[in-house]
Amino acid sequence: MGFTRSFRLCLAALLSAAVLCRPARGLVSLEDGRDQIFVNSSLTIGYDSNLFANAAGAGDTSYSLSFGADYVRRAGWIGLNASVGVNATRYGKFTREDFENPTFTAAFSKQSGRTTGSLTLSAARESRADVAANLRDESWFYQADLNFKYPVIERYSIAGNLGYSYRNFADNTVLVDLKSYSAGVDLFYVYTANRDLLAGYHFREEDTSRDSKSYEHNFTAGMTGKLFSRLNGTLRAGYMYLVPQGAGVEKNAGSWTANGSVSWNFSKRISFTGQVSKDFTTTSTNDNVDSLSSSLRAQFAYSSKTQLGSSLTWTDSNFLGISGAGRHDNSWSWDATLSHSFNGHLNAALTYGYFQNWSTLAFSDFVRNNVTFSLTSRF
C-alpha cells in the first residue's frame, strides 16, 4: 500500500514538473496589471529521524505535493493579497500520519492617507510534531489580526493592534483547544530622520477547552529603524505579568520581556539577521511557559541564482505552576539550506536540520535530524 501511494505521488510529481517549466504566460493579468493571479506548486522529499519529537525517536521518509494560487489587487486605497492552497503528504511507514492540509489567507492593506493599516484573515489545517506534548497532532488554526497607525502630530504617532486566534485539535484526549484574544497600543516618537523611539502596553487573554484562563500584561519600550551604525530593525524590552486562573494554577508570575529583530548587511552578498523573544505562552498541554528564544541567521548569495543560508537557534522554556511539575527544557537547533533558481520559475532547495532538546522530563529529552529536497515553481 505504501509503495502504491509513493508511486502515485511520484507520477503526479512528474506530471506537475511539466507544468512547472512553462514560461511566464501562465501568469494571468487583468485590468492593466492591477489584478494578477499566480499559480505555485512544489514537490518535497524528506527524511525525519524523530517524527514524533520524543525520546522513542521513530523516523520516516515523506513525500509531499502542494498546489496553490495567489490573487493580488492593487487598485484604489485598499490592496488585497489572497492565497489558497493544499499540501498532501504521504509517509513510508507511519501511513496513519498521512494528511491533506488546506490553507487560506486574505490580507487587506491601506498604505496611503493619514491612517494606514492592515487586516489579515487566515485558516489552515496543520499536522506537526508538538515539542511540548511530544507527539504529532492535527489541528485547525484560525487567525485574525487588525493593525493600524495614525500620526497625531509631526513627531508623534499611535499604532494599535487587535488579534484573535483559535487552535482546534482533532483529538482532545491529551491536548486542549486554545483561544487567544489580544490588544495593544504603542506610542512612536521620531527621534531622528531614520530612528523612532517607542513605548507600549499589550494585553492577551488565553482560554483553553479545560476552563482555564490566563491574562498577560506586557509593558515595553524600545527603538525602531536604524539602531546603530549598520544595524536596522526593532528592539523592545520591559516587564510582563501573568495572571492564570483554573485548575493546576499555583500563583501569578512576573518576569522581564523582550522582542526584536535586527538585520546587518555585511556586504552585497552576505547578510545577518538576529531575533530574540521572551514571553509567556500557553502550550497544547494546558501549561503556562516562560519562554526565551534567540536566533541568528546568515545568508550568502553566491550568485543571483544560487544562495546558501544557515540558522542557529537557542530556546529556554520554564513550565510554570502545579501542572508544569517543575519541567524545564533547553533546546538548540541548526539548519542549512542551499537553493538554486533555474529560470526564475523553477527553484530547487536542499535543507539539513538538527534539533536537540534537553528536558527534566525524560520522555522529552531527544535529538532530531531531518533532510529535505524540494522543487518549487511560481508563474
> What's the predicted TM-score (pTM) here?
0.89
Write the DSSP string, 193-207: TTEEEEEEEEEEEEE
Give pLDDT, residue 1.
Answer: 45
Q: What angle do CA 277, 279, 282 make, to 5 degrees?
A: 125
What length is written for the chain? 379
How does pLDDT run along the chain (379 residues), one tens digit per residue? 444 455 455 545 444 544 444 444 446 666 666 888 999 999 999 999 999 999 998 999 999 999 999 999 887 788 999 999 999 999 999 999 999 999 999 999 998 889 999 999 999 999 999 999 999 999 999 999 999 999 999 899 999 999 999 999 999 988 999 999 999 999 999 999 899 999 999 999 999 998 889 999 999 999 999 998 889 999 999 999 999 987 555 688 999 999 999 999 999 999 999 999 999 999 999 999 999 999 999 999 999 999 999 999 999 999 988 878 889 999 999 999 999 998 878 999 999 999 999 999 999 999 999 999 999 998 8
Give pLDDT, residue 211.
Answer: 86
* Residue ranges per structural domain of the chain: 2-378
| Cα 275 from Cα 189, distance rounded (Å) | 23
Give pLDDT, residue 374.
Answer: 97
State the DSSP H helix or E strand holding residue 20, giving kind and residue range, or none if neither: helix 2-20
State how far the alpha carbon of 49 is from the alpha carbons of 129, 216, 334, 358, 366, in Å. Answer: 12, 37, 15, 17, 11
Q: Is 3.80.10 the CATH classification of the domain at 2-378?
A: no
